[in-house]
Structure 1
Amino acid sequence: MEQLNKLPEIIKQRRYNASLFQEMMTDHPTFIIQREIGESSWFGFSLVLRKPHKNKREQIVHKLNRLGFECRPIVAGNFLKNRVINYADFEVHGDLSNADYIDQNGLFIGNHHYPIPDAIRVISKF
């Protein structure tokens, strides 16, 4: 119950970090970022490499890791490449080139419930 009482302040701080992230990263030359489409709690930040930088994900993740950032795939990458898909009944409709691009060129960095302007500034320098 105690954690639930803290939730409004946690979300408020994450949204504050997200506003800084959007301010510093909108129209970034290396990354495409997600857009706010409502009132997200901003659990983290998705970054997709722009075409001139495609296929450099591994290099960028390595550099971010050295700087202390933990990087993950966006959601699960292209979910069709996940072994769990062998247990699902599904159909694929259309081309999955965007899912493949995000799988190969996207990354996710977690947000925090406390101010992280310096960390966002580091990411914006890429």
Structure 2
Amino acid sequence: MKDKDIFILEDNCESMGAEYKGKQAGTFGVMGTFSTFFSHHMATMEGGFVTTDDEELYHILLAVRAHGWTRDLPKENKVSNKSNDWFEESFRFVLPGYNVRPVEMSGAIGVEQLKKLPNFLQQRRKNAKLFVELFKNHKDFIIQRDIDNSSWFGFSLIIKPKSNLKRKDVINILQENNIDCRPIVTGNFTKNEVMRYFDYKIHKDLKNADYLHNNGFFVGNSQICLKKQLCIVQNLLCN
């Protein structure tokens, strides 16, 4: 970040294909993460990928994704002094690592899905246009505001402060009609017990995140036309 000693790591798993001021989301920081889980913009069933234009981070990622070994690193790299001895380098570990390498089948599916991604995004935006038309003046809900060119992972709704609705009742209505929904990206993440394992600070209170945590939810989008489904959701939530 300009003039500040801050490095941005973008969690872009739910914004593949989104743009802000002509630049792709996931490319603003030193690294960006993308998910290809089956409910996301494109799918390899499980998995995802990381983008970076920093060569050192790229080499670190190559090692970390495969147990922390040097086997996949080029001879000239920024992680280790790799020797010419292939036998020694085949099981030489230089970083703590994981086993998160994609399998060939996932890669093959991903290559074909990537070709379809522009059309997937186009349909998601068409669905979103209808969603906005249906809910923009709803008396009980605040909806997602597109500040540039969202790729619309889902359709977020937040119950307005003056509404008499209770989220639990709304979710029950959706579930009774076989309409799935989720919290909006966990809501206020700092409420999760896992936070006790991290060294972190919170600047002031998180009142907006808390409100979203307690009153928000989203229903899914897709790369197929959802006109019928969105009209059903509107009918349920307007009655």
TM-score of the superposed pair, with normalisation by structure 2? 0.51
Query: Which stretch shows the higher mean deviation, 33-42 or 115-124?
Result: 115-124
Out of 61, 74, 78, the position equivalent to 2:188 is 78
> How far, CA to CA, are the matches of 2:165 and 2:203 in structure 1?
26
Is 1:44 paired with 2:131?
A: no
For structure 1, the 5+ residue unaligned runs are none
Q: Which has the higher contact order (CA 8 A, sep 6+)?
A: 1
2:206 aligns with: 96
Q: Secondary structure at the match of 1:53?
A: coil
Give the paired residue count.
126
- 1:52 Cα offset (Å): 2.8
Among 140, 144, 148, which residue is 1:34 paired with? 144
Identity %: 45
Q: Which structure has the greater CA radius of gyration?
A: 2
Unaligned 5+ segments in structure 2 are 1-110
Q: Which stretches of structure 1, 4 residues or longer, exceed 3 Å deviation after superposition?
A: none
Determine which of 46, 53, 63 is the counterpart of 2:163. 53
8 A contact 2:140–2:165 mirrored in 1: no
Q: Displacement, 1:122?
A: 2.2
Where does residue 115 of structure 1 map in the other structure?
Answer: 225
1:78 partner amino acid: N
When you count helix as a share of all residues, which structure comes out higher?
1
TM-score by length of 1: 0.93
Cα RMSD (Å): 1.3
